[in-house]
Amino acid sequence: MTRVRTQAEKLLEGATATLTHAGVASPVADAQWLLCHVLGVPRAMLHRASVGGPQRDAYLELVDARARRFPLQHLVGSAAFRYVEVEVGPGVFVPRPETELLAGWAIDQVRDAEAPVVVELCAGSGAISLAIVHEVPQARVHAVELDLPAFEWAAHNLSGTGVDLRLGDMADSFNDLDGAVDVVVANPPYIPLDAWESVAPEARDHDPALSLWSGDDGLDAMRVVERVARRLLRTGGVVGVEHADAQGESAPAVFVDRWHDVRDHRDLADRPRFVTATR
Protein backbone atom coordinates (compact mmCIF):
# COMPACT_ATOMS: atom_id res chain seq x y z
CA MET A 1 0.00 0.00 0.00
CA THR A 2 1.35 3.42 -0.98
CA ARG A 3 2.05 5.71 1.96
CA VAL A 4 0.38 9.12 1.82
CA ARG A 5 2.97 11.89 1.91
CA THR A 6 2.67 14.48 4.63
CA GLN A 7 2.28 18.17 3.87
CA ALA A 8 5.82 18.75 5.09
CA GLU A 9 7.16 16.13 2.68
CA LYS A 10 5.25 17.71 -0.20
CA LEU A 11 6.61 21.14 0.70
CA LEU A 12 10.16 19.81 0.90
CA GLU A 13 9.84 18.08 -2.46
CA GLY A 14 8.62 21.25 -4.15
CA ALA A 15 11.23 23.42 -2.44
CA THR A 16 14.03 21.05 -3.41
CA ALA A 17 12.93 21.17 -7.04
CA THR A 18 12.79 24.98 -6.94
CA LEU A 19 16.24 25.31 -5.41
CA THR A 20 17.72 22.73 -7.78
CA HIS A 21 16.38 24.65 -10.77
CA ALA A 22 17.87 27.86 -9.32
CA GLY A 23 21.34 26.31 -9.15
CA VAL A 24 21.62 26.22 -5.35
CA ALA A 25 24.53 23.95 -4.43
CA SER A 26 22.76 22.01 -1.65
CA PRO A 27 19.03 22.11 -2.46
CA VAL A 28 17.90 19.22 -0.24
CA ALA A 29 19.74 20.42 2.87
CA ASP A 30 18.72 24.05 2.32
CA ALA A 31 15.06 23.13 1.88
CA GLN A 32 15.21 21.18 5.12
CA TRP A 33 17.01 23.88 7.10
CA LEU A 34 14.52 26.52 6.01
CA LEU A 35 11.58 24.39 7.08
CA CYS A 36 13.29 23.62 10.39
CA HIS A 37 13.68 27.36 10.88
CA VAL A 38 10.01 28.09 10.18
CA LEU A 39 8.64 25.22 12.26
CA GLY A 40 11.18 25.36 15.06
CA VAL A 41 11.83 21.62 14.97
CA PRO A 42 15.00 19.52 14.38
CA ARG A 43 15.50 17.87 11.01
CA ALA A 44 14.71 14.44 12.44
CA MET A 45 11.16 15.65 13.17
CA LEU A 46 10.43 17.37 9.87
CA HIS A 47 8.52 14.62 8.11
CA ARG A 48 6.09 14.24 11.00
CA ALA A 49 5.64 17.95 11.68
CA SER A 50 2.35 19.70 10.99
CA VAL A 51 2.44 22.85 8.88
CA GLY A 52 -0.13 25.60 9.31
CA GLY A 53 -1.16 28.07 6.64
CA PRO A 54 0.96 30.99 7.90
CA GLN A 55 3.96 28.67 8.30
CA ARG A 56 3.51 27.39 4.75
CA ASP A 57 3.41 30.95 3.39
CA ALA A 58 6.47 31.96 5.41
CA TYR A 59 8.34 28.90 4.17
CA LEU A 60 7.53 29.54 0.52
CA GLU A 61 8.75 33.13 0.88
CA LEU A 62 12.06 31.89 2.28
CA VAL A 63 12.42 29.30 -0.49
CA ASP A 64 11.80 32.01 -3.07
CA ALA A 65 14.48 34.19 -1.49
CA ARG A 66 16.93 31.29 -1.40
CA ALA A 67 16.17 30.57 -5.06
CA ARG A 68 17.14 34.17 -5.76
CA ARG A 69 20.44 33.25 -4.11
CA PHE A 70 20.07 35.08 -0.84
CA PRO A 71 22.45 33.29 1.55
CA LEU A 72 20.82 30.58 3.64
CA GLN A 73 22.46 31.99 6.76
CA HIS A 74 20.93 35.43 6.16
CA LEU A 75 17.49 33.84 5.89
CA VAL A 76 17.79 31.89 9.15
CA GLY A 77 19.84 34.61 10.86
CA SER A 78 22.81 32.57 12.00
CA ALA A 79 25.72 30.36 10.97
CA ALA A 80 27.17 27.38 12.81
CA PHE A 81 30.96 27.49 13.27
CA ARG A 82 32.74 24.66 15.06
CA TYR A 83 31.02 24.46 18.48
CA VAL A 84 29.51 27.95 18.43
CA GLU A 85 26.93 29.88 16.44
CA VAL A 86 27.19 33.47 15.22
CA GLU A 87 24.41 35.75 14.12
CA VAL A 88 24.82 37.05 10.57
CA GLY A 89 22.93 39.13 8.05
CA PRO A 90 23.41 41.88 5.48
CA GLY A 91 26.70 43.71 6.01
CA VAL A 92 28.86 40.86 7.25
CA PHE A 93 30.74 38.00 5.62
CA VAL A 94 29.13 34.63 6.26
CA PRO A 95 31.72 32.27 7.80
CA ARG A 96 32.37 29.15 5.70
CA PRO A 97 32.99 25.59 6.90
CA GLU A 98 36.47 25.68 5.38
CA THR A 99 37.50 28.39 7.84
CA GLU A 100 36.76 26.04 10.73
CA LEU A 101 40.01 24.26 9.86
CA LEU A 102 41.99 27.47 10.24
CA ALA A 103 40.28 28.18 13.56
CA GLY A 104 41.05 24.64 14.67
CA TRP A 105 44.71 25.12 13.81
CA ALA A 106 44.85 28.32 15.90
CA ILE A 107 43.11 26.60 18.80
CA ASP A 108 45.58 23.71 18.69
CA GLN A 109 48.51 26.17 18.95
CA VAL A 110 47.28 27.59 22.28
CA ARG A 111 45.05 24.93 23.81
CA ASP A 112 47.57 23.93 26.49
CA ALA A 113 49.15 27.35 27.06
CA GLU A 114 48.58 29.15 30.35
CA ALA A 115 47.49 32.60 29.11
CA PRO A 116 48.13 32.76 25.36
CA VAL A 117 47.66 35.99 23.44
CA VAL A 118 45.81 35.64 20.13
CA VAL A 119 45.03 38.31 17.55
CA GLU A 120 42.44 37.91 14.80
CA LEU A 121 42.79 40.26 11.85
CA CYS A 122 39.82 40.89 9.51
CA ALA A 123 37.43 39.60 12.16
CA GLY A 124 34.17 39.86 10.18
CA SER A 125 31.41 38.25 12.25
CA GLY A 126 33.90 37.35 14.98
CA ALA A 127 33.45 33.62 14.38
CA ILE A 128 37.13 32.67 14.75
CA SER A 129 37.58 34.71 17.93
CA LEU A 130 34.38 33.29 19.40
CA ALA A 131 35.49 29.73 18.65
CA ILE A 132 38.87 30.36 20.27
CA VAL A 133 37.52 31.79 23.54
CA HIS A 134 34.90 29.04 23.66
CA GLU A 135 37.47 26.25 23.36
CA VAL A 136 40.42 27.97 25.04
CA PRO A 137 38.84 30.09 27.79
CA GLN A 138 42.22 31.07 29.23
CA ALA A 139 43.22 32.75 25.96
CA ARG A 140 43.42 36.54 25.77
CA VAL A 141 41.90 37.25 22.37
CA HIS A 142 42.05 40.53 20.46
CA ALA A 143 40.29 41.19 17.14
CA VAL A 144 40.03 44.01 14.63
CA GLU A 145 37.55 44.77 11.84
CA LEU A 146 37.63 47.71 9.41
CA ASP A 147 34.08 47.66 8.02
CA LEU A 148 31.61 49.30 10.41
CA PRO A 149 28.55 47.09 9.65
CA ALA A 150 30.66 43.95 10.07
CA PHE A 151 32.18 45.37 13.26
CA GLU A 152 28.68 45.82 14.68
CA TRP A 153 27.84 42.18 13.95
CA ALA A 154 31.10 41.09 15.59
CA ALA A 155 30.43 43.29 18.61
CA HIS A 156 27.07 41.59 19.04
CA ASN A 157 28.48 38.09 18.64
CA LEU A 158 31.42 38.72 20.97
CA SER A 159 29.51 40.61 23.65
CA GLY A 160 30.31 39.25 27.11
CA THR A 161 33.16 37.01 25.90
CA GLY A 162 36.04 39.23 27.02
CA VAL A 163 37.40 39.54 23.47
CA ASP A 164 39.08 42.92 22.90
CA LEU A 165 37.35 43.94 19.65
CA ARG A 166 38.54 47.10 17.90
CA LEU A 167 37.27 49.05 14.91
CA GLY A 168 40.06 50.01 12.54
CA ASP A 169 42.55 49.10 9.84
CA MET A 170 44.59 45.99 10.57
CA ALA A 171 47.65 47.70 9.03
CA ASP A 172 48.18 49.89 12.08
CA SER A 173 46.26 47.94 14.71
CA PHE A 174 47.47 46.69 18.11
CA ASN A 175 50.68 48.70 18.39
CA ASP A 176 50.32 48.08 22.12
CA LEU A 177 50.84 44.34 21.51
CA ASP A 178 53.98 44.49 19.36
CA GLY A 179 56.18 41.47 20.06
CA ALA A 180 53.79 40.02 22.65
CA VAL A 181 51.43 37.83 20.60
CA ASP A 182 51.53 34.03 20.37
CA VAL A 183 49.18 33.49 17.42
CA VAL A 184 47.89 35.74 14.65
CA VAL A 185 45.02 34.33 12.61
CA ALA A 186 43.17 35.87 9.68
CA ASN A 187 40.65 35.11 6.99
CA PRO A 188 41.32 38.20 4.84
CA PRO A 189 39.80 39.09 1.47
CA TYR A 190 41.63 37.10 -1.19
CA ILE A 191 39.65 37.18 -4.46
CA PRO A 192 41.36 38.83 -7.48
CA LEU A 193 39.46 41.76 -8.93
CA ASP A 194 39.04 40.04 -12.31
CA ALA A 195 37.41 36.92 -10.80
CA TRP A 196 33.91 38.44 -10.54
CA GLU A 197 32.17 35.89 -12.75
CA SER A 198 33.62 32.91 -10.88
CA VAL A 199 32.22 33.95 -7.49
CA ALA A 200 28.94 32.42 -6.32
CA PRO A 201 26.02 34.90 -6.26
CA GLU A 202 25.55 34.34 -2.54
CA ALA A 203 29.00 35.82 -1.90
CA ARG A 204 29.32 38.23 -4.83
CA ASP A 205 25.95 39.90 -4.28
CA HIS A 206 25.60 39.73 -0.50
CA ASP A 207 28.97 39.56 1.26
CA PRO A 208 30.63 42.97 1.82
CA ALA A 209 33.04 43.97 -0.93
CA LEU A 210 35.74 44.63 1.67
CA SER A 211 35.60 40.96 2.66
CA LEU A 212 36.03 39.64 -0.89
CA TRP A 213 38.30 41.58 -3.24
CA SER A 214 42.04 42.06 -2.73
CA GLY A 215 43.88 43.50 -5.71
CA ASP A 216 44.88 42.08 -9.06
CA ASP A 217 46.26 38.81 -7.67
CA GLY A 218 44.05 38.54 -4.59
CA LEU A 219 47.01 38.86 -2.23
CA ASP A 220 47.07 42.55 -1.30
CA ALA A 221 45.52 41.87 2.12
CA MET A 222 47.76 38.82 2.61
CA ARG A 223 50.81 41.05 2.29
CA VAL A 224 49.44 43.37 4.96
CA VAL A 225 48.76 40.40 7.24
CA GLU A 226 52.37 39.28 6.77
CA ARG A 227 53.73 42.67 7.81
CA VAL A 228 51.37 43.09 10.77
CA ALA A 229 51.93 39.53 12.04
CA ARG A 230 55.70 40.00 11.90
CA ARG A 231 55.35 43.10 14.06
CA LEU A 232 52.93 41.55 16.57
CA LEU A 233 54.35 38.08 17.11
CA ARG A 234 56.97 37.14 19.64
CA THR A 235 59.91 35.08 18.41
CA GLY A 236 58.52 31.58 17.87
CA GLY A 237 54.96 32.89 17.45
CA VAL A 238 52.89 31.63 14.54
CA VAL A 239 50.54 33.06 11.93
CA GLY A 240 47.79 31.30 9.99
CA VAL A 241 45.99 32.87 7.02
CA GLU A 242 43.25 31.51 4.76
CA HIS A 243 43.56 31.85 0.98
CA ALA A 244 41.82 30.75 -2.22
CA ASP A 245 42.40 27.23 -3.49
CA ALA A 246 44.22 28.67 -6.51
CA GLN A 247 46.76 30.37 -4.21
CA GLY A 248 48.40 27.26 -2.79
CA GLU A 249 51.78 28.43 -4.07
CA SER A 250 51.41 32.20 -4.30
CA ALA A 251 50.12 32.67 -0.73
CA PRO A 252 53.01 30.81 0.96
CA ALA A 253 55.38 32.77 -1.28
CA VAL A 254 54.35 35.93 0.60
CA PHE A 255 56.02 34.48 3.73
CA VAL A 256 59.04 32.55 2.49
CA ASP A 257 61.60 35.37 2.62
CA ARG A 258 61.17 36.38 6.28
CA TRP A 259 59.58 33.39 8.06
CA HIS A 260 60.43 29.87 9.18
CA ASP A 261 58.48 26.65 8.66
CA VAL A 262 56.20 28.06 5.97
CA ARG A 263 53.58 25.40 5.23
CA ASP A 264 50.36 25.22 3.29
CA HIS A 265 47.38 23.20 4.53
CA ARG A 266 44.58 21.54 2.59
CA ASP A 267 40.86 21.52 3.38
CA LEU A 268 38.53 18.53 3.65
CA ALA A 269 38.11 18.53 -0.14
CA ASP A 270 41.92 18.27 -0.46
CA ARG A 271 42.24 21.81 -1.83
CA PRO A 272 44.93 24.29 -0.68
CA ARG A 273 43.23 26.42 1.99
CA PHE A 274 45.52 28.19 4.49
CA VAL A 275 49.18 28.99 5.04
CA THR A 276 51.02 28.96 8.36
CA ALA A 277 54.45 30.27 9.29
CA THR A 278 56.66 30.81 12.35
CA ARG A 279 58.19 34.14 13.41
Do 191 and 64 share a domain, yes or no?
Answer: no
**Domain presence at residue 78:** no
Q: Which residues, in sequence order, are CB contacts of 262 under 8 Å at separation 6+?
A: 252, 255, 256, 275, 276, 277
Which pLDDT score, from 0 to 100, does residue 203 have? Answer: 87
The answer to whether the beta carbons of residues 132 and 141 sit under 8 Å apart is yes
Do 16 and 119 share a domain, yes or no?
Answer: no
DSSP structure string for 99-151: HHHHHHHHHHHHTT-SS-EEEEES-TTSHHHHHHHHH-TT-EEEEEE-SHHHH
If DSSP codes are grouped into helix, strand and coil, which group holds residue 242?
A: strand
**How large a percentage of the chain has pLDDT more than 90?**
81
Do 18 and 126 share a domain, yes or no?
Answer: no
User: pTM for this structure?
Assistant: 0.91
Which pLDDT score, from 0 to 100, does residue 6 have? Answer: 81
**Domain presence at residue 101:** yes
pLDDT digits (tens, 9 = 90+) for 85-132: 999 999 999 999 999 999 999 999 999 999 999 999 999 999 999 999
Q: How confident is the model at residue 51 (pLDDT cuts 50, 70, 90)?
A: confident
Q: Which residues, in sequence order, are CB contacts of 52 under 8 Å at separation 6+?
A: none
Domain end, chosen from 53, 68, 83, is at 68
Do 124 and 207 share a domain, yes or no?
Answer: yes
> Does residue 166 register a pLDDT over 80?
yes
**Domain presence at residue 75:** no
Do 186 and 227 share a domain, yes or no?
Answer: yes
Which pLDDT score, from 0 to 100, does residue 48 have? Answer: 78
**Domain presence at residue 134:** yes
Question: Phi/psi at 266 (nearest 5 deg)?
Answer: -100, 155
Average pLDDT, the chain: 93
DSSP structure string for 203-230: HHTTS-GGGTB-SSSS-HHHHHHHHHHH
Do 30 and 110 share a domain, yes or no?
Answer: no
AA letter at 123: A
**Domain presence at residue 86:** no
Q: Which residues, in sequence order, are CB contacts of 224 under 8 Å at separation 6+?
A: 170, 171, 188
Which pLDDT score, from 0 to 100, does residue 62 have? Answer: 96
The answer to whether the beta carbons of residues 250 and 278 sit under 8 Å apart is no
If DSSP codes are grouped into helix, strand and coil, which group holds residue 66?
A: helix
Which pLDDT score, from 0 to 100, does residue 136 have? Answer: 98
Cα 79 from Cα 222, distance rounded (Å): 25
**Domain presence at residue 21:** yes
Do 169 and 240 share a domain, yes or no?
Answer: yes
**Domain presence at residue 245:** yes
> Does residue 2 register a pLDDT over 70?
no
Do 109 and 45 share a domain, yes or no?
Answer: no
Mean pLDDT across 71-87: 95
**Domain presence at residue 269:** yes
Which pLDDT score, from 0 to 100, does residue 46 have? Answer: 82
Q: CATH number for the domain including 37? A: 1.10.8
Do 53 and 116 share a domain, yes or no?
Answer: no
If DSSP codes are grouped into helix, strand and coil, which group holds residue 157?
A: helix
Beta-ladder partners of 238: 183, 278
pLDDT digits (tens, 9 = 90+) for 202-260: 888 888 888 988 888 999 999 999 999 999 999 999 999 999 999 999 999 999 999 99
Q: How confident is the model at residue 4 (pLDDT cuts 50, 70, 90)?
A: low
pLDDT digits (tens, 9 = 90+) for 25-41: 899 999 999 999 999 88
Do 46 and 142 share a domain, yes or no?
Answer: no
Do 157 and 214 share a domain, yes or no?
Answer: yes
pLDDT digits (tens, 9 = 90+) for 189-214: 988 888 777 778 888 888 888 898 88
Angle at 259 between CA 230 and CA 229, to 5 degrees: 20
Do 158 and 222 share a domain, yes or no?
Answer: yes
Total domain count for the chain?
2
Beta-ladder partners of 186: 121, 241
- Parent domain of 25: 7-68
Which pLDDT score, from 0 to 100, does residue 3 have? Answer: 54
